Amino acid sequence: MSIHRSSIAAPPDGPAAHVDLIKESHERCTALGLTRIERPDYEPLMRSDLNDARERNRKLHTHAAPVMELLLEQIAGTQSMIVLTDAHGTILHSVGDEEFVTRAGKVALSPGVNWAEHSKGTNAIGTALFAERPTLVHAEEHFMHANQFLTCSAAPIFDPRGNMLGVLDVSGDHRAYHQHTMGLVRMSARMIENHWLNDHCANRLRLHFHSRPEFIGTLLEGIVVVGADGKLQGANRSALDQLGLSGVALRNQTLTSLFGTTVAALVDHFRSPLALPMKLMLADGRQFLANARMDWATLAFMPPGPQSAESAPLVLTPQPPQAQPQPPGATQVFAQPGVAAPPQAPSGPLPTGLAYLQTGDVQIEAVVQKARRIINRDIPLLILGETGTGKELLAHAVHQESNRSKQPFVAVNCASIPESLIEAELFGYEEGAFTGARRKGATGRIVQANGGTLFLDEIGDMPLPLQARLLRVLQERCVTPLGSGKSIAVDIAVIGATHRNLREMIQRGEFREDLYYRLNGLVLRLPPLRERSDLSLVAQRILANECPQGAPRISAEVMALFQRCDWPGNIRQLANVLRTAAVMAAGEPQITQAHLSDDFLEDVRRLAQQQQAAALAAAAQAQAQPAMAQPVAVAMPAGPAAAPFAAPGGAVPPVAAYAGAGYPGGYPAGTVLGGQPATPMAGTPAAALPGQPPSARTLHEQEITMIQAALDAAGGNISEASKRLGISRNTIYRKLRWNRPESDVS
């Protein structure tokens, strides 16, 4: 049974446009010298060339494969097949009804064969490629007689900049034509485009919008990609449709020119995890609601929002190309508007990659030299170090300097993902793989990293059963998503990182020895900030990065304070402190104590008290020891102005006397912190348990106490507490979750 052309349902552009499209295609074929009875060119690509083409289009297939599987379910039993081609019309992959696939093979509708118009005449794939729009070619609409048993629906797949990536097509027996097929193919192509966009622009700010909020998060949502300078860099098809713009017209717009807002306003609005969608309005009055998405790593580089409602909104400072290269992983830099350039401009462009990390410390220098030697050598790297020491930055720098730099760098924090979800996150899953799984399934992070680098942060927190699966992936270089029988080949460089002592974990049976040896081709240990000799240069580099138009100096008093701090949050904490200070000091030539946040000064004060208390207790214990009489208990006074320490059995000299004497690890004589003399406080970690010298308290216990105190001060708000402590929210969760002594990194 053949279907009359005019009865073909739902051609993408209406019946008249469809007739014209086919007519023009036939004319092109005639002009190309093709004839209708011509024996089609059946010559497929050689196997090796097909493999090359598949390799070149691996990412397209990665994003298309789950969508094709889903589509296959919808068309099962309809005598049809699904075809994915590259941007030239060469078939890369096909799946479908076995019987029909064999029939289609007779007209060379199979991998390795090119279906561009010039080789196969009018057909949905070739004509969609030419017309750059979804195309239906039914039965005798095919130019060549041999293909007229087919009905084919094809949709081109574009990247966010409008570049053609390939074509998705469903071809079937023309007698089994179904009017919904074209719609399914168009939807599937959009899904692939959205996957591609979200993956490739993961590090960039994306706005997901629609005029109806319930459509945000669906296939109908518009997505625009926003650059650090506020320029719109790309969009999905639904965005262009909703905005009524072409891709080129969209890329000539900025957030301000199109929606009347700024990146800073967006960042500020969405900083709260509970933020509602933001209202955006076009110049013609049309309104949309938008959610913003971006990688957490990107957000980590953004400064806190405006300090108060009255303060001027933060604006993005455009960076001159090449003038201020970003450190590895950094994306955006903010400054206050209207601020005169501070007198101390950075002397030159900041180095990038591993060179960014070289600030003169000998331990770091050794780390960088060793890291350089293994670049492109297929040697797995394991980075050890406390939280915030720059493990991810180092991993990113290694990736940047490798020949994988153009491919994705995918970071997974094994400690921040609930144990039950790590497997799905890493390996991906098929539709219906487990209760609560997204209907369409998901690509795992390992597959997303294909061709690039997978950074497994906090690898020591990976549950044992998953360690076995990860080991298999590393050995066999292929991944099998949950609920799938098929494995996907992957080519990844793996960098692991942890703050834990993996050797001890192996001994306790908590970490697989075989995985450990797979991961530790080279082990690099990043020293904590308190052990580094380059604090001053690191601080200046962070400031230069924060204030591209000229960084303020750090006053000697502040630097002296920094030098004495023990930085439990390491460089992350330092960066947070400097970021706030730079905003407070805007327009002034140097950062003084007055620009430091009270939280930080409070922490420094508390630390000084702990150190003094520890020293006092040690001294008291030393005094008590000859008599072997009583255990030492140090009672802390109730507040800063309270009486000096008292130890059982006798008066202990006032703190001031000790401070004045200049205690080892404490403050030198006469040091004044935050305008007040350093004095002890009740409830500090150094308030030792009776019968136990403070030094016997583990670092972990002290950390827990500090975290608890910060949480109390922040009213239980973990984000706020993490800001105050300068450690990540994950670290807080982790430390509270494992509220037991942790082993230090060896």
Dihedral over alpha carbons 132, 138, 144, 148 (to 10 degrees)? 150
The reply to whether 391 sits near ligand ATP by the rule CB under 6 A is yes
- Contact window for ligand ATP (CB under 6 A) among 75-83, 307-315, 384-392, 607-615: 384-392
Nearer to ligand ATP, 139 or 571 (CB): 571
CB of 551 to ligand ATP, least distance (A): 13
The reply to whether 575 sits near ligand ATP by the rule CB under 6 A is yes
Q: Where does residue 420 rank: exposed (0-12), middle (13-18), buried (19+ CB within 10 A)?
A: exposed
Q: Where does residue 83 rank: exposed (0-12), middle (13-18), buried (19+ CB within 10 A)?
A: buried
Residues between 283 and 312 with contacts to ligand ATP, criterion CB under 6 A: 300
Three-state SS for 381? strand
Nearer to ligand ATP, 350 or 437 (CB): 350
Nearer to ligand ATP, 393 or 604 (CB): 393
Q: Which residues pair with 90 in a beta bridge?
A: 114
Nearer to ligand ATP, 361 or 430 (CB): 361
Q: Whose CA is closest to 446, among 60, 51, 55, 62? A: 62
Nearer to ligand ATP, 231 or 729 (CB): 729
CB of 278 to ligand ATP, least distance (A): 26
Sequence-separated (6 or more) residues with CB below 8 Å from residue 701 = 685, 741
Residues between 499 and 538 with contacts to ligand ATP, criterion CB under 6 A: 499, 538
Token pair listed for 59: 């990412």
Token pair listed for 288: 């949309």
The reply to whether 393 sits near ligand ATP by the rule CB under 6 A is yes
CB of 421 to ligand ATP, least distance (A): 18
Nearer to ligand ATP, 140 or 566 (CB): 566
Number of residues in contact with ligand ATP under rule CB under 6 A? 20
Q: What binding mask, one character per residue, do residues 30-59 give for ligand ATP by CB under 6 A, x or -?
A: ------------------------------
Residues between 306 and 365 with contacts to ligand ATP, criterion CB under 6 A: 357
CA distance 66 to 487: 12
- Contact window for ligand ATP (CB under 6 A) among 194-202, 385-393, 630-638, 641-649: 385-393
CA distance 169 to 85: 8
Cβ atoms within 10 Å of 531's Cβ, excluding its own: 13
Q: What is the DSSP letter of 8?
A: -
Nearer to ligand ATP, 11 or 390 (CB): 390
Residue from the set 141, 392, 423, 599 that interacts with ligand ATP by CB under 6 A: 392
- How many Å from the N-terminal Cα to the C-terminal Cα in the chain? 76
Q: Whose CA is closest to 288, among 297, 277, 298? A: 277
Residue from the set 155, 314, 571, 586 that interacts with ligand ATP by CB under 6 A: 571
Residues between 440 and 499 with contacts to ligand ATP, criterion CB under 6 A: 457, 499
- Contact window for ligand ATP (CB under 6 A) among 387-395, 468-476, 515-523, 688-696: 387-395
CB of 497 to ligand ATP, least distance (A): 6
Q: In whole angstroms, how large is the CA radius of gyration of the chain?
A: 31
Q: Whose CA is closest to 672, among 579, 552, 529, 560? A: 560
Beta strands in 227-282 (DSSP E): 232-235, 278-281
The reply to whether 547 sits near ligand ATP by the rule CB under 6 A is no
Residue type, 274: L
Beta strands in 177-230 (DSSP E): 205-210, 222-226
Residue type, 662: G
CB of 624 to ligand ATP, least distance (A): 40
Which backbone phi and psi does 207 adopt, to 5 degrees? -105, 125
CB of 357 to ligand ATP, least distance (A): 5
Residues making contact with ligand ATP (CB under 6 A): 300, 357, 385, 387-393, 457, 499, 538, 541-542, 571-572, 575, 728, 731
